[in-house]
């Protein structure tokens, strides 16, 4: 049997990780995994229970969270306990609170478990922080993407589509995150 290939794509915020990852997956006919979407789905689970801050988070609830993903040529669907939450996880509220949940050690371990299980039986391109270092240290290929902060800020700014936020604050936020 042919060995499954894991390609890990890490990089700076808004450096184009998911765009590149999907192109590589489509080129080779591999599946694509968006690790950030899994953090978003867990955050959505807690938000639906009225838990929007990490201090109210109950780690025992993680046992009730099952994550799945289906990728087909550019289209990526994310499932939370069997329900398609691909749109719900992109809401502004989730975008705002997800980083707090993604910092929590148990949340990260829960995501790692699902990512490893998912990629166990198929060749996969995975993007996100920690992917090549912590989640798949033995990945067959690892990339780290860099891009000019001004280009990254422009890309993020055009994605945000929010009147209250200007380009300079997006650039400052990226520099801070770097
Ligand atoms: O890429 P994104 O905006 O969908 O990621 C959602 C959040 O999860 C964001 O706060 C970064 C975090 N994240 C992470 O900590 N580790 C990853 N491998 C992927 C995303």
pLDDT tens per residue across all 178 residues of the chain: 678 999 999 999 889 999 999 999 999 999 999 999 999 999 999 999 999 998 888 999 999 999 999 999 889 999 999 999 999 999 989 988 999 999 999 999 999 999 999 888 899 999 998 899 999 999 999 999 999 999 999 988 887 766 678 899 889 888 888 8
d(CA 61, CA 68): 17
Instruction: Give the residue, by CA position, lying nearest to ligand 1 atom 13.
Output: 36
What is the pTM (predicted TM-score) of this model?
A: 0.91
d(CA 10, CA 128): 5
Q: Is 124 in the pocket of ligand 1 (CB under 6 A)?
A: no
Q: Is 102 in the pocket of ligand 1 (CB under 6 A)?
A: yes
Q: Which helix (H) or strand (E) holds 117?
A: helix 105-118
Q: Is 99 in the pocket of ligand 1 (CB under 6 A)?
A: yes
């Amino acid at each position: 049997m042919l060995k499954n290939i894991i390609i890990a794509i890490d990089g700076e915020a808004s450096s184009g990780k998911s765009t590149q990852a999907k192109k590589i997956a489509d080129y080779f006919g591999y599946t694509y995994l968006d690790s950030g979407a899994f953090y978003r789905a867990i955050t959505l689970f807690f938000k639906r229970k009225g838990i929007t801050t990490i201090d109210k988070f109950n780690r025992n609830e993680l046992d009730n969270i099952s994550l799945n993903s289906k990728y087909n040529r550019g289209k990526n669907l994310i499932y939370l306990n069997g329900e398609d939450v691909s749109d719900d996880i992109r809401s502004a509220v989730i975008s705002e609170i997800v980083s707090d949940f993604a910092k929590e050690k148990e949340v990260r371990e829960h995501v790692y478990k699902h990512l490893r299980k998912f990629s166990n039986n198929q060749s996969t391109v995975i993007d996100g922080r920690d992917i090549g270092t912590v989640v798949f240290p033995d990945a067959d290929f690892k990339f780290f993407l860099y891009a000019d902060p001004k280009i990254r800020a422009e890309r993020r700014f055009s994605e945000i589509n929010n009147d209250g936020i200007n380009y300079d604050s997006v650039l400052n936020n990226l520099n801070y995150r770097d």
